[in-house]
Amino acid sequence: MSVFGVGKGGGAADRTAGAVLIVAAAGTVVAMGHHPSSAHSGGLGGLVHGAMVALAAMLGFGFTQFARRRSLDRPAILAGLVAYAIGLFAHVAAATINGFVVPALAGRGAGAVGHDIFLLAWESNQALARLGVFAAGAAFILWSIDLLRRGGRATRLVGGAGLVAGAAPAILIAAGLLTMDVAGAAAVYAAHAAWSILVGVQLARGELGGGAGRSVHDEARLEREG
């Protein structure tokens, strides 16, 4: 038994990536809980958004190992990784605007920067945030289709949850029922975090091997017997 109560068998890389996914996903929820609501938040805005950038990088590491484990030779897995990379870029850019660019502009003093500049920054942040949700959602859907097609019962359950986590936020945003303000972003990141934790647990347990219905344990045994 290893950290987070997950078992052995997935290899050190899988256990590390799984743990990173769990920690980073939980961290995004905590960070969003401290998200400032004003550009005049002192150092808190930079701290929260800097943490979000670091956590996004950790999630990227974890999901890259997940994609490698599922096999990048599969078009759906590779396409999902490309989509996730686009989403990662968009989220980091959005965090940079709100966490560093806007506070720097606000710090120039009243009247130093016109309202149109702040409006441009806001619309850029929102466009990038929405792009991040759509791209990450596409990645989750593509990966989940693969999990549903190739895996045991637990893996298929993770795949089903991934379809919901990937599609639901994107549909709500596209329909205008959800916006990427602080409250909306917190809801989206919570949904994405929940699925990231599920993937992290399964990855660390060695249950996300690429073979149809086989875990990493089974694949290692077959390699030894071969």
42-56 tens-digit pLDDT: 677 788 999 999 999
On whether residue 70 sits in a domain, the answer given is yes
What is the mean predicted confidence (pLDDT) over 177-205? Answer: 94
Tokens of 139: 């990645």
Identify the band that residue 214 occupies on the pLDDT scale cut at 50, 70 and 90: very low
Instruction: Report percent pLDDT > 70 for the chain.
Output: 85
Q: 107-152: per-residue pLDDT in tens?
A: 877 777 888 998 999 999 999 999 999 999 999 999 999 999 988 8
List C-alpha distances in Å: 163 to 64, 143, 203, 210.
Answer: 19, 9, 18, 19
Cα separations (Å) of 8 from 1, 152, 157, 202? 6, 18, 21, 11
φ, ψ for residue 83, nearest 5 deg:
-60, -40
**Domain containing 54: what range?**
3-221
- Alpha carbon distance 179, 184 (integer Å): 5
Q: How far is the first Cα of the chain from the last one, in angstroms, to the nearest whole number? A: 28
Tens of pLDDT along 81-109? 999 999 999 999 999 998 899 888 888 77
Over range 1-23, report the average pLDDT: 71
Q: What is the mean pLDDT of residues 180-189?
A: 92
Mean confidence (pLDDT) of the chain: 86
**Domain presence at residue 209:** yes
Let me know: does 88 contact 60? Beta carbons within 8 Å. yes
Q: What is the pLDDT of residue 134?
A: 98
- Residue 26 counted as domain residue: yes
User: Measured in whole angstroms, how far is the alpha carbon of residue 44 from the centre of its chain?
Assistant: 22
3 state DSSP class of 208 = coil
Does residue 66 lie in a domain region? Answer: yes
CB distance 196 to 27 below 8 Å: no
Across 82-107, b (16+ Cβ under 10 Å) vs e yields ebbebbbbbbbbbbbbbbebbbeebe
Instruction: Give the position of tokens 């930079």.
Output: 46
Computed over its alpha carbons, how large is the radius of gyration of the chain? 19
Residue 218 phi, psi dihedral angles, 5° rounding: -65, -40
- The answer to whether residue 226 is domain-embedded is no
Cβ atoms of 163 and 139 closer than 8 Å: no
**Distance separating alpha carbons of residues 106 and 88, to the nearest angstrom:** 26
- pLDDT of residue 40 exceeding 80: no
How many domains in the chain? 1
